[in-house]
Amino acid sequence: NAGVTQTPKFQVLKTGQSMTLQCAQDMNHNSMYWYRQDPGMGLRLIYYSASEGTTDKGEVPNGYNVSRLNKREFSLRLESAAPSQTSVYFCASRGTPWETQYFGPGTRLLVL
Amino acid sequence: AQKITQTQPGMFVQEKEAVTLDCTYDTSDQSYGLFWYKQPSSGEMIFLIYQGSYDEQNATEGRYSLNFQKARKSANLVISASQLGDSAMYFCAMREGHNGNQFYFGTGTSLTVIP
């Protein structure tokens, strides 16, 4: 089982460039999440999707957009990258409400 | 106010000893869930243990146990018989509401196990 996969693993962008982070899960989970992790800040929720066709803002949604393409895939888009978006991005998925989230390996993004 | 507070930025423990990592939470919901995750230097997030707000018994998973004190709003992680491989960052997290999708993470505690 692959679990939750993320691409790319590492990316360098210049300020103003755009990119899409891809996430896919093979566990037939309804809920999917995008987090960012900054030093000393823990993980902060950017957006989540409770089910296919729905998305909602988390704690830090500004500067990001998401698409729940189907039940398996949930992408995160940076339209115009800024240095403040330099971070490690984690995708996660969850089945039933009382279950834990399962995390992908993360994407390291550097915005110059 | 912070939803999850971890007050110990760094902890040291001797190999084979037990260690307690502190976590306090803030919620007005009656139904919530508390989680602990381990993040080794390789970066992945590994689920360790879960406690539901209505669970009467403290959760245990192998060498991990969760000391749940509802009135104090604390959910401390206890690792028994520490091993060198336990050296990592540890994060406490909370899900509010029974079906909630908002998860809140603490800032983490860095644990170092000394041989």
Radius of gyration of chain A (CA): 13
- How near does any CA of chain A get to the CA of B83, in Å? 24
> Percent of chain B beyond pLDDT 70?
99
* DSSP bridge pairs for B91: B37
Residues of chain A below pLDDT 50: none
Mean pLDDT of B83-99: 92
Choose the closest CB to A100 out of B50, B100, B101.
B50
Q: Which residues of B touch A88 (CB under 8 A)?
A: 43
| Across B46-65, average pLDDT | 94
Angle at CA of residue B1, ends B45 and B48, nearest 5°: 20
How far apart CA A30 and CA A99 sit, in angstroms, is 12
**What pLDDT was estimated at residue A1?**
63
Specify the 3-state DSSP secondary structure of B104: strand
Residue B63: closest CA among B17, B109, B105, B108: B17
pLDDT at position A98: 72
Confidence at residue B41, expressed as pLDDT on a 0 to 100 scale: 93
Average pLDDT estimate for B42-58: 93
B76 in contact with chain A, both atoms CB, cutoff 8 A: no
Strands (E), B18-87: 19-21, 24-25, 32-39, 46-52, 60-61, 64-69, 74-79
The residue with greater pLDDT, B90 or A59, is: B90
Give the residue with greater pLDDT, A98 vs B109: B109
Residue B102 has pLDDT above 80, yes or no: yes
A63 contacts A82 by C-beta, under 8 angstroms: yes
- The rounded distance, in Å, linking the Cα atoms of A74 and A25 is 9
Compare CB distances from A98 to B33, B43, B107 and report the shortest one's residue: B33
Average pLDDT over chain B, rounded to an integer: 94
Residue B43 touches chain A, beta carbons under 8 Å: yes
**How close B46 gets to chain A, by Cα (Å)?**
8
d(CA A22, CA B22): 34
Minimum distance, in Å, between the CA of residue A37 and any CA atom of chain B: 10
Phi then psi dihedrals of residue B42, to 5 deg: -70, -15
Residue B1 has pLDDT above 80, yes or no: no
The gap from C-alpha A46 to its chain's centroid, in whole angstroms, comes to 7
